[in-house]
Structure 1
Amino acid sequence: MSLWLEILVSLLLLLGSAFVLIGAIGLYRLPDFFMRLHGPTKATTLGVGGMVVASLIFFSVGEQTLSSHELLISLFLFISAPVSAYMLAKAAVLHQLPLEQKTRGKPWQQ
């Protein structure tokens, strides 16, 4: 593998890891459920996406063929993450979870 591809894979791994870390910190630090929902659904999806792209490049160059496993992982990730986040948010609205004062849009307080 050439040096510039190794650097690209390394940068994608570092960028993906940084997004996953930011998502995990957001999940831990944010005060209520609706704010916490953004950490794993936004930043972590980008982070895992960066890692999967790095894996795709690494194995595609190493095996001299396109690696379809990473493409399938990416497809599943980008389809399932928004759907699961929507389902979690809908369940939280139906159960009327307690909110932080700074949270906007309180659908059950008409």
Structure 2
Amino acid sequence: MNAAAELPLWAAVPVVALLVLGGAIVLIGALGLMRLPTFYQRIHGPAITVTLGAGCLLIASMIYFSVLQSRPVIHELIISVFILMTAPVVAMLIMRAAVYRDLRAGKRDTGAMSGDVYHLPSED
């Protein structure tokens, strides 16, 4: 018999719900990455949903292994903190690099909402 069969019902229900919710959120983010037209719109899907979807999956893992081992499992907390600190920063840096790349290429549509934030180099 496997370990999942020994999981009590009070722990199995939240684990299954969190796994399904986390998987659905990550799938929606992947669909957003695939369906949105521009890079600046496309980056928001994974940037937001990776954090929330991974959080649901990590909480489900925490509950599952804490119940089976009869002690708190904190590895997932460390992973969660790392993801929460790095995912938004990485997304912001990727977007900023794309804006600067577009500005250097001379594109007018850089994704910035107002023209006061970024300026194209003057052509003298």
Q: Which amino acid counterpart does residue 100 of structure 2 have in structure 1? A: L
Q: Which residue does 2:4 correspond to in 1?
A: none
Q: Which residue does 1:34 correspond to in 2?
A: 40
TM-score, length-scaled by structure 1? 0.88
Which secondary structure does the structure 1 equivalent of 2:102 belong to?
coil
Q: Percent identity?
A: 44
Q: Residue 50 in 1 paired to residue 56 in 2?
A: yes
State how far apart, in whole Å, the 1-side matches of 2:88 and 2:22 are: 18
Matched positions, count: 108
2:29/2:45 contact within 8 Å kept: yes
- Bigger Cα Rg: 2
1:16/1:50 contact within 8 Å kept: yes
State how far apart, in whole Å, the 2-side matches of 1:79 and 1:92 are: 21
Q: Which runs of 5+ in 1 are unaligned?
A: none
State how far apart, in whole Å, the 2-side matches of 1:26 and 1:66 are: 35
For 1:53-92, list aligned pairs within 5 A.
53-92=59-98
1:29 to 1:109, Cα distance in 2 relative to 1, 3 A: farther
Compare relative contact order (CA 8 Å, sep 6+) and give the higher one, 1 or 2.
Answer: 1
